[in-house]
Structure 1
């Protein structure tokens, strides 16, 4: 059983620093570093011994699914609707892999033909022992490498709290492990170490005149990928413990209908808890190491407001439909006549009125970095102007208007 602690200093559970807003913006679009580094380590873990171009194909295929951010050119609502869509599915992954293989494979073949014409003779590498030759391009192996990397993207995106729809379009449900933070420095350090250390050791070998191995860094790559897996399993177990602590602690006397635990970076024992009842949401700070659940009913409650005609109208807008499809912990509020930051309020003739409706998601409404108390707009907050309680007067996400 957890122990609940009250009487903490005032803390706005929806407060965020500017650094937190940057991370939210990044999570909406993509977090490319983890995907690129994981792909590079997959290639160097031994697959580069099977075919030419394995590492570059694995690196690109591991991130290629996020090409769907190009929908952002069609507006922020389209980006929200399409992001982590078909390219992040089991159906789409084989096509994503094929695209990378065709582009890189054909480019490599063209480059080899160009080099052969310049040499006007067989390459010197043909005279090397088989153990010293680079492998030729093998299309089947190259596609296998790309497919593994493309599937790794879906798996990694599932581990964080944004979620994926791996079975879309047959099953539109979002799935989220919610046990890894969207940008995890420990994972970055592991993967970067595996890629940089072999290079540094290679410099030392050249200094002493040691024979340079054809493939370097396999052991380090396997070490980093294993570390990434172990960290994920550890966080998965701590996430389950956090949910148990919230459920086993009397956070509120009202009947709880569902709970969630959202991750913090670096610290696997620290979690942001959310509980829902019929009348309100309540947040808590959970420490699985000490078994504590910190929540103050006087400070950490967000009451559910009654739906107004403006809220009902906003839910039927393209932004509202896309947001409620994705936002598992969505909160919709009628803000009244509060202008959207960076915009001019609707100019209407006498007798007409407007109101602003806000869409937010409690999964991202906490201070990830623990700095600052301001609550600036972020990339995952949607705002809609509703005219006369029924008409769409403009839709905005992250300060961008949907044209």
Structure 2
């Protein structure tokens, strides 16, 4: 998910009552909810190699043990440093080391959970396994999730400032609504994949090896449907509860072209892209009298983002 969502999740956990457990609880929860994204530094590598590094080692089990410990140590040091300088805020609660550590773990663990909900993918077991996991449940930037999170945090903060004893209730209510929203979207995704698989078989006589219900912005009741078998791929649209409309056009993804794949494996950007890609598509194109191979991913076919998720590789002959 985007970092605003992660930050709001940390803030909501704090407003649900966890912020009263120890001093520095709220900043610890918010920072912890974002800290696995330190892998964003990989974009400095340039090219497309960063795709193979994102949502991997810093989102895996070792990181989930070490990152909260690192943050915990920094927050303890910060509190002591402020105390020595006489700059520690008087209203800050005493720091309870055990609770602070627990909150660092809670905030940090919320990050891979919410990242798993979308179709971008996450390697939950890295470095023990490089398998990608996909929730296909909510769009990577979900405005309805934002609304629920902001409302819960804001109403809870307002109640707290007014001295209302029930100031935690809006945050807890928002949390319950978010759980129901995510669960409902999971049911929509499951239904969409089931019906689309049947529709592809009925309309094209193809039993798809993979069907993906790709969440779309704003319209949470809809899915961009993507399907493929060993040679073909196609798409469609699903609208809850049971409407499936398939695009009559079918393409060949060329992932069985062993010669082309062998050549692509020699290119570092293409190799990284293929490691990251869930539904790769390969096509050849003539550019200025030179033939190039273009790698893309079905999930990111929207013209607004497709340029960010494709690799152009000269053929072996042109590269020389």
Candidates 146, 152, 175, aligned match of 1:194: 152
2:222 is equivalent to residue 303 of structure 1? no
SS at match of 1:356: strand
TM-score w.r.t. the length of structure 1 is 0.72
| Residue of structure 2 in register with 1:247 after alignment | 197
Looking at both structures, which has the greater relative contact order when contacts are Cα pairs under 8 Å and sequence separation is at least 6?
A: 1
- Displacement of 1:59 in angstroms is 0.3
Q: CA RMSD in A?
A: 2.6
- Displacement of 1:159 in angstroms is 0.6
Is the Cα contact below 8 Å between 2:263 and 2:316 reproduced in 1? no
- Displacement of 1:255 in angstroms is 3.3
| Residue of structure 2 in register with 1:97 after alignment | 68
Structure whose CA Rg is larger: 1
Is the Cα contact below 8 Å between 2:224 and 2:238 reproduced in 1? yes
| Residue of structure 2 in register with 1:319 after alignment | 269
| Residue of structure 2 in register with 1:172 after alignment | 130
The Cα offsets for residues 19-50 of structure 1, whole Å up to 9 and x where unpaired, read as xxxxxxxxxxx611110100111122222221
Relative distance call for 1:70 and 1:216 in structure 2 (3 A) is farther
| Residue of structure 2 in register with 1:378 after alignment | 307
Counterparts of 2:217 and 2:306, CA distance in 1 = 21
| Residue of structure 2 in register with 1:347 after alignment | none
Is the Cα contact below 8 Å between 2:148 and 2:174 reproduced in 1? yes
Contiguous gaps of at least 5 residues in structure 1: 1-29, 118-122, 126-132, 206-211, 339-352, 367-373, 392-403
Is the Cα contact below 8 Å between 2:279 and 2:298 reproduced in 1? yes
Is the Cα contact below 8 Å between 2:49 and 2:273 reproduced in 1? no
| Residue of structure 2 in register with 1:274 after alignment | 226
| Residue of structure 1 in register with 2:300 after alignment | 364
SS at match of 2:75: helix
Is the Cα contact below 8 Å between 1:332 and 1:357 reproduced in 2? yes
The Cα offsets for residues 328-362 of structure 1, whole Å up to 9 and x where unpaired, read as 10112222326xxxxxxxxxxxxxx8532211110
Is the Cα contact below 8 Å between 1:310 and 1:390 reproduced in 2? no
- Displacement of 1:227 in angstroms is 1.7
TM-score w.r.t. the length of structure 2 is 0.90
Report how many residues are paired.
317
2:221 is equivalent to residue 292 of structure 1? no
Contiguous gaps of at least 5 residues in structure 2: none
Relative distance call for 1:201 and 1:75 in structure 2 (3 A) is same
Relative distance call for 1:380 and 1:304 in structure 2 (3 A) is closer
